[in-house]
């Protein structure tokens, strides 16, 4: 198939190889042109040489290109898969976590929500907007897939900047349910239709259906799940906060304690500080392990000791970008459980100018959200608070407004004062000034 797929951020040791793993399992996409793009030429060359070796092993499944020039990469693109970060991710993440807490913030992680999530958005959204503006100018009919966090805010900024662009945001967080649901319901995951709704990293499981019979499995899940998760507590996933919110709000938050707590003032009451800092350390160690594995494979390639079968000969990453691309090209009319798209009356009692996470159907025209209607009032109330912060955060970036930036920090439940917001903004703007827009 003559399709052009551009991977932006392909030099990343985690993003590039995982996406390529999925590509090499696709028969439908064989014959496509795969363009590897990254601004880090050294990392890009390493991935390119590995992919060249893989392509040779796999009888040249793809036409492989690489370039550090974005406009060249985008020319004629049909699909763009983008995953970028700005600066040293973990150094900046720790600053996003530590500095707000230094001034009294109750935030528990600082990646996608809380004042840390807002600062993260201030750094990463401007370069992503430059990318999508180029996409809109060079290949306006292309389908853009974003993996960068903070997902909901990034996608909202894309929606407001290039409203006609076909795009989605993807996050693998729903994948945690692949293990737990069969244990709870005694039904294979492939026979379950999940109905999660909300915001990325802040969503709730509103429905579960057995595909073969059409049976509503939520009553059974709600009966068994509380005790099941008490017995299977995991500090980085489903623990005290998840169980408490499930009990208080009546619907299961499928995103795990570390993500859920970013948006809740009471998140700190049910999480341990050490668990959150350990999670950042855990994520960094995972990234280092992946990088070392890539470099070991690269060394083997240079020493002419590369694996005969290659490293992409079997397995899948668990990400959904390639299956969605396949479904669009084949008009498969498939169902995807959790995709980030604009709220087009999918959830009636949330702002329509919002990007939500919800199920979609996929066909030749792209994706279409599965309408839910009105969320329970208690769930909607939680989400509307975060929606307001996202609105101000994105507007601060688009207008380069210092006043809006500080207001977005101040109204966050984990800040709650302009004095604290001023201190947080002042110190982080100085520490991270090379990565932040010039707020006026």
Positions marked active-site: 172
Q: Which tokens sit at 359?
A: 């199920």
C-alpha Rg value of the chain to the nearest Å: 22
Non-local (6+) Cβ contacts of 406 within 8 A are 418, 421, 422, 425
Question: Based on the number of CB atoms within 10 Å of its own CB, is 113 exposed (0-12), middle (13-18) or buried (19 or more)?
Answer: buried
Cα dihedral 384→385→387→390 (10° resolution):
180
- b/e per residue, 24-43, with b = 16+ CB within 10 A? bebeebeebbbbbbbeeeeb
- The Cα–Cα gap between 397 and 400 comes to 5
- The Cα–Cα gap between 345 and 1 comes to 35
Residue 143: count of CB within 10 angstroms of its CB:
21
In angstroms, the Cα distances linking 187 to 173, 182, 183, 224 are 20, 5, 8, 14
């Amino acid at each position: 198939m003559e399709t052009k797929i551009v991977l932006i951020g392909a030099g990343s040791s985690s993003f590039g190889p995982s996406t390529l793993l999925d590509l090499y399992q696709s028969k439908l996409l064989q014959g496509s042109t795969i363009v590897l793009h990254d601004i880090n030429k050294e990392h890009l060359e390493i991935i390119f040489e590995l992919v060249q070796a893989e392509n040779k092993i796999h009888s040249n499944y793809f036409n492989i290109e690489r370039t550090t020039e974005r406009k060249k990469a985008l020319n004629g693109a049909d699909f763009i898969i983008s995953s970028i970060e700005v600066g040293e991710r973990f150094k900046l993440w720790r600053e996003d976590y530590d500095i707000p807490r230094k001034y009294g913030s109750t935030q528990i992680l600082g990646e996608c929500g809380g004042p840390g999530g807002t600062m993260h958005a201030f750094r990463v959204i401007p370069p992503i907007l430059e990318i999508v503006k180029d996409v809109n100018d060079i290949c306006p009919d292309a389908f853009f897939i974003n993996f960068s966090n903070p997902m909901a805010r990034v996608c909202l900024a894309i929606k407001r900047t290039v409203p006609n662009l076909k795009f989605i945001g993807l996050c693998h967080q729903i994948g945690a349910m692949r293990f737990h649901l069969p244990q709870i319901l005694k039904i294979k995951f492939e026979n379950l239709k999940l109905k999660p709704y909300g915001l990325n990293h802040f969503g709730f499981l509103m429905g579960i259906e057995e595909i073969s019979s059409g049976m509503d499995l939520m009553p059974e899940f709600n009966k068994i799940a509380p005790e099941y998760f008490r017995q299977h507590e995991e500090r980085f996933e489903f623990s005290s906060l998840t169980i408490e919110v499930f009990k208080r709000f009546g619907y299961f938050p499928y995103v795990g304690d570390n993500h859920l707590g970013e948006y809740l003032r009471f998140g700190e009451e049910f999480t341990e500080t050490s668990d959150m800092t350990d999670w950042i350390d855990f994520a960094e160690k995972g990234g280092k392990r992946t990088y070392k594995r890539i470099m070991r494979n690269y060394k083997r390639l240079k020493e002419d000791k590369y694996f005969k079968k290659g490293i992409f000969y079997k397995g899948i990453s668990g990400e959904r970008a390639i299956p969605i691309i396949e479904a669009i090209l084949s008009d498969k009319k498939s169902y995807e459980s959790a995709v980030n798209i604009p709220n087009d009356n999918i959830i009636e009692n949330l702002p329509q100018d919002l990007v939500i996470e919800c199920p979609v159907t996929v066909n030749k025209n792209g994706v279409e959200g599965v309408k839910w209607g009105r969320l329970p009032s208690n769930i909607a109330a939680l989400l509307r608070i975060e929606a307001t912060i996202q609105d101000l955060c994105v507007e601060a970036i688009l207008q380069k407004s210092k006043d809006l930036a500080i207001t977005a920090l101040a109204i966050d439940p984990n800040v709650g004062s302009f004095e604290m917001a001023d201190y947080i903004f002042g110190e982080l703007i100085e520490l991270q000034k090379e990565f932040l827009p010039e707020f006026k």
